[in-house]
Amino acid sequence: MNQQAAKQWVDALRSGEYTQGRNYLRKGAYFCALGVLCDAVSPKGWRKDGFGRWAHEGQATGLSKLLALKLGMQDVPEDTFYPYHPKIEGAAVCIINDVRASTFEEIADLIEKHWETI
């Protein structure tokens, strides 16, 4: 991913402005690590979807293909309707956030170390 976007993401994760959540980009006042990225780089991209969930550029559980490409993310499939889930050290960021329950600080450390391969 591009370095400027990685820095914005890391800074936002460490800012203390976000309460960590799980399973969705944003649920009320809670954000997963990918939701923080969306809010940091494109805060006006949020809308409620047809199920009443917060969605960013039409996605509630991962990144839109358009945003992933804009941020210079690696390995974005050519033709995908589904949300994109970037990986760090082979694990999807959503798994690192939701299943491993890594803190925002721990995720920020991983992004700083691996931003060029995300």
pLDDT tens by residue, 67-92? 999 999 988 887 767 789 999 999 99
First to last CA, the chain: 5
Taking the C-alpha atoms of residue 35 and residue 79, their distance in angstroms, rounded to an integer, is 22
Q: Mean pLDDT across the chain, nearest whole number?
A: 95
Question: The whole model's pTM is what?
Answer: 0.95
Which residues are registered as beta bridge partners of 87? 92
Q: What is the pLDDT of residue 81?
A: 72
DSSP-based three-state secondary structure for 51:
coil
Q: What is the pLDDT of residue 16?
A: 98
Instruction: Let me know: does 46 contact 56? Beta carbons within 8 Å.
Output: yes
Q: What is the pLDDT of residue 77?
A: 84
The residues, any chain, with a CB within 8 Å of residue 39's CB and separated by 6 or more, are: 12, 18, 26, 31, 46, 56
Taking the C-alpha atoms of residue 103 and residue 25, their distance in angstroms, rounded to an integer, is 15
pLDDT category of residue 37 using cuts at 50, 70 and 90: very high
The residues, any chain, with a CB within 8 Å of residue 70's CB and separated by 6 or more, are: none
Token pair recorded at residue 79 = 């033709």
pLDDT, mean of residues 93-99: 96
pLDDT category of residue 118 using cuts at 50, 70 and 90: very high
Q: What is the pLDDT of residue 80?
A: 65
